[in-house]
Chains A and B, each alone.
Chain A
């Protein structure tokens, strides 16, 4: 079975600064994917970034990047130049390559302050 742990229930950051959200996971799968989703106050779930476990290179999407440490089963999200619109709940998730079900963490509420 897969599990995802987000140990930070809430975080805050000043506008334009950098923040890192933590995520650890456990899986017995060899091939899997990792994701970060963002849920703003509108509650629409938005895919932020995807990492394929067999790729060593960390994924990057504009101001969002990950630090993927496969041996440590860690998948943190770094948000650079934080913007007010980044205020949201962030969920880490994983799924096996051949799986049907995403496993989500409990989420981290991020507040960007002006």
Chain B
């Protein structure tokens, strides 16, 4: 069966520090991968998606970047965090022919 992992689960970082969030998928190959951000009590904002290794599409211009160094690995990064980067970050992948997305457990990021 397919599973998706995200780490860390919780992160507290100072303003100006770097960021690296990792997402990995098991049990499938060549998935579409997605990064979303969610503010408290709000909807999901698509940040990046990837249809293959090294292929990244950016939806929102900001100080975040994404990379896909391996087929089932998706990384969200920042060189210098801003207060506005605080939020809940969700990774997702597409399974099967129905385009339904399955989500990881998320990372709660607090920038102080």
Is A50 positioned at the interface, with any CB of B under 8 Å from its CB?
yes
A107 to B42: give the CA distance in the assembly, Å: 7
**Are B43 and A97 in touch, CB under 8 angstroms?**
no
A10 to B106: give the CA distance in the assembly, Å: 23
Is B101 positioned at the interface, with any CB of A under 8 Å from its CB?
yes
**Are A101 and B49 in touch, CB under 8 angstroms?**
yes
**Are B101 and A102 in touch, CB under 8 angstroms?**
yes
**What chain B residues lie within 8 Å of A47 (beta carbons)?**
100-102
How big is the A interface, by class? Answer: 20 to 34
Is B109 positioned at the interface, with any CB of A under 8 Å from its CB?
no
**What chain A residues lie within 8 Å of B112 (beta carbons)?**
none
Chain A, residue nearest B59 (CB): A101
Chain B, residue nearest A98 (CB): B99
**What chain B residues lie within 8 Å of A107 (beta carbons)?**
42-43
CB-contact partner of B99 in A46, A89, A99, A106, under 8 A: A99
CB-contact partner of A43 in B46, B88, B94, B101, under 8 A: B88
**Are A33 and B99 in touch, CB under 8 angstroms?**
yes
**Are B103 and A44 in touch, CB under 8 angstroms?**
yes
**What chain A residues lie within 8 Å of B105 (beta carbons)?**
44
Residue interface bits B47-67, CB-to-A below 8 A is 1, else 0: 001010000010100000000
A93 to B75: give the CA distance in the assembly, Å: 24
Most A CB contacts (10 A, CB to CB) among B41, B42, B49, B100 go to: B100
Can you give 8 A-B contacts (C-beta < 8 A)? Answer: A33-B98, A33-B100, A35-B100, A45-B106, A47-B102, A100-B32, A100-B94, A102-B99
| Chain B residues with a Cβ under 8 A of chain A | 32, 34, 38, 41-44, 46, 49, 51, 57, 59, 88, 90, 92, 94, 98-103, 105-106, 108
